[in-house]
């Protein structure tokens, strides 16, 4: 880019970047023949009952191909409110407290642009999901990192407490966690809520992976805490739970009048979530749930497979066993190495796409993030290649 153009761009765009999660597949496309442990996409097809519902709506319902109401289809908002009530004990009012968004991502952006401005600080546990940080920067706020415990990627509430200043506006929490696969302990989340209440800090609770936990453990969500509600923005997604990543649909929960303030951003950015995607979301919620339980069971098997394969690599890809989401942070050393250099080498020399851990913050350095969203054959091929590569070092 010419210096002239760069100077004419807005400061907020100059200071953000495309995340490495998207960059590595682009590099791999130039190299060719790569197998991916990169981007966080569950391999599952959209279930047939969802495809049928969308096809039928598009054939029979004149409203299905048009804008929906700006906060989303009323039936879908009711179904989302019911899900929040049933799973988190959150008595959501579908009329005033729930809005359907373009994936969890747009919900997060609505929250950030509504709450954060120049001079505001947002605490982000680190390693972090890169888009959380980019969105804080896009809102012209300052991300302040609170490192997770390096021993087990647990939430270090003391680190969060140390990060609080008079300028702190919000803290972002996401459990199960991307990129570490950690599921934060209820006791730590409760301590974090206490801090937020004491310092009057908003909590942006990104529950994108809430349904994906293993070993018969459920994730505790701060969305279930009554006393936190005035400070809470809940961000939810259909992408991972229902394997609808490409449909781009999620939802937001906040009390009035905060929700209607966020809806101003939603209107300016998207008008409404795509109506066919909302039909898919409603069919996913209303249809048989064992499809999704089976997907989760399959992901658990893949977690077991990838951990066993990595364990068999002679200490080369040491990791903390993930308990949720579908990521493993694997430490590549010894010797310690630059994670971007390593990920590029793995693409060029092993033909395996991984995401450099440094893209998730300083605590991710020396690691690569491996996704086990792909099927067993992909995981096995990738691990065969990683093992062969490691054995030549």
Ligand X SMILES: Cc1ncc(COP(=O)(O)O)c(C=O)c1O
Q: Applying CB under 6 A, which residues contact ligand X?
A: 40, 103-105, 129, 174, 178, 206, 208, 237, 239, 245, 250
Helix or strand run (H / E) with residue 283: helix 275-286
Residue with Cβ nearer ligand X (211 or 350): 211
328 phi and psi angles, rounded to 5 deg: -125, 130
Q: What is the CA radius of gyration of the chain?
A: 21
Least gap, CB of 102 to ligand X (angstroms)? 7
Find where tokens 């803290």 sit.
Answer: 171
Phi and psi (nearest 5°) for 133?
A: -70, -45
Q: How far is the CB of 363 from ligand X (least distance, A)?
A: 16
Residue with Cβ nearer ligand X (174 or 354): 174
Minimum CB distance to ligand X, residue 84 (Å) = 16
- Listed residue (109, 106, 113, 99) closest to 70, CA to CA: 99
Residue nearest to ligand X (CB): 103
Q: Which is nearer to ligand X, 47 or 104 (CB)?
A: 104
- Residues in contact with 195: Cβ distance below 8 Å, sequence separation at least 6, in sequence order: 157, 160, 161, 164, 171, 201
**CA separation for the pair 91, 69 (Å, rounded):** 22
DSSP 8-state class, residue 47: P
Q: Which SS3 state, helix, strand or coil, does residue 291 take?
A: helix
Task: Round to whole Å and give the CA distance between 166 and 56.
Answer: 53
Strand segments (E) across 88-211 = 98-101, 121-126, 142-147, 168-173, 202-206
Task: Find the shortest distance in angstroms from Cβ 56 to ligand X.
Answer: 25
Q: Tell me the C-alpha distance between 242 and 292, whole Å.
A: 6
104 or 363: whose CB is closer to ligand X? 104
- Give the nearer residue to ligand X in terms of CB position, either 209 or 317: 209
Shortest separation between residue 99's beta carbon and ligand X, angstroms:
14
Report, in Å, the least distance between residue 251 CB and ligand X.
10
Please identify, using beta-carbon distances, which residue of 213 and 309 lies nearer to ligand X: 213
CB of 365 to ligand X, least distance (A): 20
Nearer of residues 197 and 270 to ligand X, judged by Cβ: 270
């Amino acid at each position: 880019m010419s210096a002239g153009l760069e100077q004419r761009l807005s400061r907020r765009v100059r200071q953000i970047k495309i995340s490495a999660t998207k960059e590595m597949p682009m590099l791999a496309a130039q190299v060719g023949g790569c197998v991916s442990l990169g981007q966080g996409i569950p391999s599952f097809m959209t279930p047939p009952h969802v495809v049928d519902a969308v096809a039928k709506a598009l054939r029979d319902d004149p409203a299905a191909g048009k804008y929906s109401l700006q906060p989303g289809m009323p039936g879908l908002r009711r179904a989302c409110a019911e899900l929040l009530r049933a799973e988190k004990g959150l008595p959501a009012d579908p009329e005033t407290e729930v809005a359907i968004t373009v994936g969890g991502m747009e919900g997060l952006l609505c929250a950030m642009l509504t709450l954060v401005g120049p001079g505001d600080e947002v605490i982000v546990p680190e390693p972090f999901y890169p888009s959380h940080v980019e969105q804080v920067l896009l809102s012209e706020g300052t991300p302040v990192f609170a490192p997770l415990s390096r021993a087990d990627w647990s939430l270090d509430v003391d680190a969060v407490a140390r990060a609080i200043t008079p300028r702190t506006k919000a803290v972002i929490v996401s459990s199960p966690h991307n990129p570490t696969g950690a599921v934060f302990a209820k006791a730590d989340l409760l301590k974090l809520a206490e801090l937020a209440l004491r310092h009057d800090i908003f909590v942006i609770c990104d529950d994108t992976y809430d349904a994906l936990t293993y070993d018969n453990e459920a994730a505790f969500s701060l969305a279930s805490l009554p006393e936190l509600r005035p400070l809470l923005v809940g961000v939810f997604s259909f992408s991972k739970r229902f394997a609808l990543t490409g449909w781009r649909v999620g939802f937001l929960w906040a009390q009035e009048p905060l929700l209607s303030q966020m809806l101003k951003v939603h209107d300016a950015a998207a008008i409404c979530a795509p109506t066919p995607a909302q039909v898919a979301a409603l069919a996913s919620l209303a249809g048989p749930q064992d499809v999704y339980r089976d997907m989760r069971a399959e992901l658990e098997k893949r977690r077991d497979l990838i951990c066993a394969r990595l364990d068999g690599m002679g200490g080369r890809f040491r990791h903390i066993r993930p308990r949720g989401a579908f990521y493993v942070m694997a430490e590549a050393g010894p010797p310690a190495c630059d994670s971007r250099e390593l990920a590029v080498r793995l693409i060029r020399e092993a033909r395996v796409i991984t995401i450099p851990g440094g893209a998730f913050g300083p605590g991710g350095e020396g690691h690569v993030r491996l996704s086990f969203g792909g099927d067993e054959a992909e995981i096995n091929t990738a691990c065969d290649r990683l093992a062969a590569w490691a054995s030549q070092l």
